[in-house]
Every structure is written in C-alpha cells, then in structure tokens.
Amino acid sequence: MVKSTFERLCDKSPILFLDCDGVLFATNDAMCEILNKKYDVRHKGCEVTNWNYDDLYPVTEKEIDELFESKEFFRKVKFVKGAKRFLTKYRDKTIIITKGSRLNYARKRIYFDKAGFSDIPIIPLDFKLSKGIINMKGCVFVDDCTVNLKESNAKWKIMFMEYSDGRDRSWQQNWRGDRLYRW
C-alpha cells in the first residue's frame, strides 16, 4: 500500500492536533437533520455556508449554542467517513482541540470515550480563546477554519474540507495552504 503525502507528514510529526467539529465530526449533517425537523425543510450539511446556519434557517446564535450542547446533537452526530480509522491508527500521537461550552466539551468527551477513544486527550477552549495559545511547533494541525490555522504556530497547517464540492464556507475563506479532503 502506498502512503499518502498526508500520512507521511503524520508519521513525521510528534503530535497531531485535530479539530473536532467539521473535521472529525460531521457536524453540519447532524445540525441540518435537527433543524430540518424543527423547520420542516430539507437541507443537507453540504448546503451550509455560514457557521451559524442563518443562511438556511431562521435561527439565533443562542439557539445554535443550545443545540451544540444538546443530547439530541450527540445522538445524531457521526464521525466523518474515515475519521475513526485515522484516530485508531494515530491514537498515540493525537490531541483533539475543540472550542465550545463546558457542557459541549463534557458531551464530546463522553462521545469519544464511548467510541473507544478515552485515551485520546481533548483540549477544550472557550470560544473567545485562540487555538494559537497551544504550542504546536513542529507538529501537524488539521482544522476547518482559516482563522484557527493562521493563528497556529504548527509546522504543517492543513485545512480539512468536509465536503469536496469546491466551495469554501464562510469560515474557510482566504486559505491558501494545504487542504485535506478525506481521512
């Protein structure tokens, strides 16, 4: 089997810092499933272009924050295709970095534990904090947000593209670096 360039980078890197929502979790698919039911519409996760879902639904930020904390979200959310295999292969050098509320983090920790990844550390950050406060020097950092990648001191910064449709979402604008389209 031929190793991909990305896997060779992962083998070189002492630590792999991975974002959760939109990178390991198919977050938009889960959110659309919940919001479609609430608003009696039929949107797909790939249609989302604004991080707060107001491009498709008449929602407030408070509503979205509550959904990200809800048990319903964690019942609906699934891993992005291939993410579990990747986590299993690189579990000994992976650290997950995620932004959210305390309740959102607690539910993420439980989700990863139940999925068999209780050994993978998670660094939870408040929304107001930059992921750039984490020292990632010499490491790989995979995120789906331009701001997070630009603020990082990681050696290899890679934009994860949850959807391979050629469209940048609002949170991915102006990224000129490497992109990863699948695990």
CATH number, position 114: 3.40.50.1000
Is residue 60 in a domain? no
* pLDDT of the chain, 183 residues: tens digit per residue: 456 899 999 999 999 999 999 999 999 999 999 999 999 999 999 999 988 999 999 999 999 999 999 999 999 999 999 999 999 999 999 999 999 999 999 999 999 999 999 999 999 999 899 999 999 999 999 999 999 999 999 999 999 998 888 888 989 999 999 999 999
Does the pTM exceed 0.85?
yes
The CA-based diameter of the chain, rounded to the nearest angstrom, is: 48
Domain count across the chain:
1
Is residue 168 in a domain? yes
The pLDDT, as a whole number, for residue 1 is: 46
Is residue 51 in a domain? no
What is the phi/psi pair of residue 35, to 5°? -70, -35
> What is d(CA 25, CA 139) in angstroms, rounded to the nearest whole number?
21
Is residue 123 in a domain? yes
Place of tokens 């001191």: 153
Is residue 45 in a domain? no
Q: Which long-range contacts (C-beta less than 8 Å, at least 24 apart) are formed by 147-154?
A: 147/171, 148/19, 149/175, 149/177, 152/17, 154/17
Q: Where are the beta strands (DSSP E) in 100-177?
A: 122-125, 140-143, 156-160
> How is the beta sheet containing 156-160 ordered, strand by strand?
122-125, 94-99, 16-19, 140-143, 156-160, 178-180
Is residue 40 in a domain? no
Find the domain containing 145 and state its range.
5-26+78-180
- Tell me the residue length of the chain: 183
Single out the residue of 25, 39, 135, 142 nearest to residue 74, CA to CA: 25
